[in-house]
Structure 1
Amino acid sequence: MAPIASAITRVLITGFGPFSGIPNNPSFGIASRLPSSLPNDIELIVHPYAVPVAYHPTLNAVSRLYSEVQPDLSLHMGVAEGRTYFAIEQTSRRNVYHIISDVDGQVFTPEENEAVWAGQPELLSTELDLNAVVADWKNRTADFTWPFSATSSDVMSVNDVQWSDSVGNYLCGFIYFAGMAEMGSNGKNKKRDVSFMHVPLLKTEEELQLGVDVAIELIQSLVQSWRSQRTS
């Protein structure tokens, strides 16, 4: 039998900063509005600064945070500008970050990739049970309503939270892969108990508050599933 989870579950949270066309990144807008704790003995360790949309600073931040915080699980967040729903991502690829330059005009070269992640597979997937997580997340958000005006391009249907496998080949995919590689190598249980949520391009305070509520329910779902996995 797996060890029983400790009374307090520690969850590391990050959000990204601005990049081209996104001066106010809602992922950090959500992260910065989260409380320090939630019911059911959940402690949130929210990184107090937006993670730069840049490969090398992100890699350094991930390495430092996982070492210092030693979280039980983590939730990284980023924006998906064209989406009108929240999504938790399944997998991330390794050697695709030399294609798009970051806000510093840099890429993460194949040579750097090999130096940092030698031995890692091309594709990493979270070890969290996202099927169980999404089912519970949908139930928890079933009564939520979308605050945008009801236009065909803006409206979000009630309970529109989803599983996805399209994290992309920019900083969202990069931080997700880096987190899974880091926790899988150095975490408390050496398991990839890492997650990534894409959020829509939320702009108003009302929209951001919805994002906070959605994130809180996702965290509750993640922790519930994580605890169940550890005690089964």
Structure 2
Amino acid sequence: MAPVAAALTKVLITGFGPFYGVTNNPSWAIASRLPATLDNNIQLIVYPAEVPVAYHPVASIIPALIAEHQPDVALHIGVAEGRSYFAVEQSSTRRSYEFVQDIYGEVFTLEEQAKAWGDAEAVLQTDLDLNVIVDGWQNGTLHMKWPFNIGGRSTSAGQPVEVVLKEDIMETEDVRWSDNVGNYLCGFMYYMDLVEMGRSGAYKKRDVAFMHVPLLKTEEEFQFGVEVTVALIQAMVDDWRAKGRV
């Protein structure tokens, strides 16, 4: 007897636009290159534009996307300029966004936070099991090869590029668990979606994650980022389905 096909799983994806010093944000470069579907009945709902690195657009876009699409899982992507690895973040904190200006010179006041988040806890975590997910993510990326010098990775002086491309296979620490989403728009977006998915997602669970990517710059690196992201999405959906929310 043929195996029963998995029920459709909808995954919401976003990527950020330019901000200080980053004119081509790799988070959007990756999101915009993702396919519409993945194997095993996974549908990717990619927000069709760069999300501005600004509080009020995020505070408007995220609740509207969840209300419209009722995603099963969400993944938001941002860039961490100083990192040479990919990381999925565990939690986000309700911070003092009234003091940190966005790209438009605006802040998100305490009054606005109270209206948007009510009495939500100061620290919110994903309901996905990131330890299990990262294990699956690492296994799913072991066959991949890093483009040369991606995100600051380099090899010994004089080593030819073709040797790097042949031998620089990903290691487990190249994709990893983290709990350092930051206190700017990455942390703000993650906290916003953790609140909203807990309120109005398809299962009222915080089945959402935030991934930081290195400062990818070339088309080859962007395509590599797509492969790494697809592997993460598949691991996230596997965990979500294993919890029986299908």
TM-score of the aligned structures, taking structure 2 as reference length: 0.88
What is residue 144 of structure 1 aligned with on the other side?
A: 144
Query: CA contact under 8 A between 2:76 and 2:190: conserved in structure 1?
Result: yes
Residue of structure 1 aligned with 2:217, choices 193, 200, 203: 203
Q: Aligned residues: percent identity?
A: 55
Query: CA contact under 8 A between 2:144 and 2:169: conserved in structure 1?
Result: no
CA shift in 2, pair 1:157/1:163, >3 Å: farther
1:14 partner letter:
T
2:104 partner letter:
D
Residue of structure 2 aligned with 1:192, choices 187, 206, 211: 206
State the shift of 1:95 in Å. 2.6
Matched residues in 2 for 1:95 and 1:56: separation? Answer: 15
Residue deviations 1:5-37 (CA, integer Å, cap 9, x gap): 971000000000000100000000000000000
Matched residues in 2 for 1:227 and 1:150: separation? Answer: 33
What is residue 154 of structure 1 aligned with on the other side?
A: 153
SS in 2 for 1:197: strand
What is residue 25 of structure 1 aligned with on the other side?
A: 25
Query: CA contact under 8 A between 1:95 and 1:113: conserved in structure 2?
Result: no
Residue deviations 1:67-125 (CA, integer Å, cap 9, x gap): 00100010000000000000000000013322321011011112211222111000000
SS in 2 for 1:104: coil
SS in 2 for 1:230: coil
Q: What is the count of residue pairs matched by the alignment?
A: 227
Which stretches of structure 1, 4 residues or longer, exceed 6 Å deviation after superposition? none
1:106 partner letter:
E
Query: If you compute each CA radius of gyration, which structure gives the higher value, 1 or 2?
Result: 2
Q: Unaligned stretches of 5+ in structure 2?
A: 155-167
Query: CA contact under 8 A between 2:88 and 2:210: conserved in structure 1?
Result: yes
1:71 partner letter:
P
Matched residues in 2 for 1:180 and 1:200: separation? Answer: 23
Residue deviations 1:142-181 (CA, integer Å, cap 9, x gap): 1212112389x42487231000000001110111111110
SS in 1 for 2:62: helix
Matched residues in 2 for 1:41 and 1:150: separation? Answer: 32
State the shift of 1:231 in Å. 6.1
CA shift in 2, pair 1:114/1:10, >3 Å: same
What is residue 160 of structure 2 aligned with on the other side?
A: none
CA shift in 2, pair 1:99/1:149, >3 Å: same
CA shift in 2, pair 1:150/1:16, >3 Å: closer
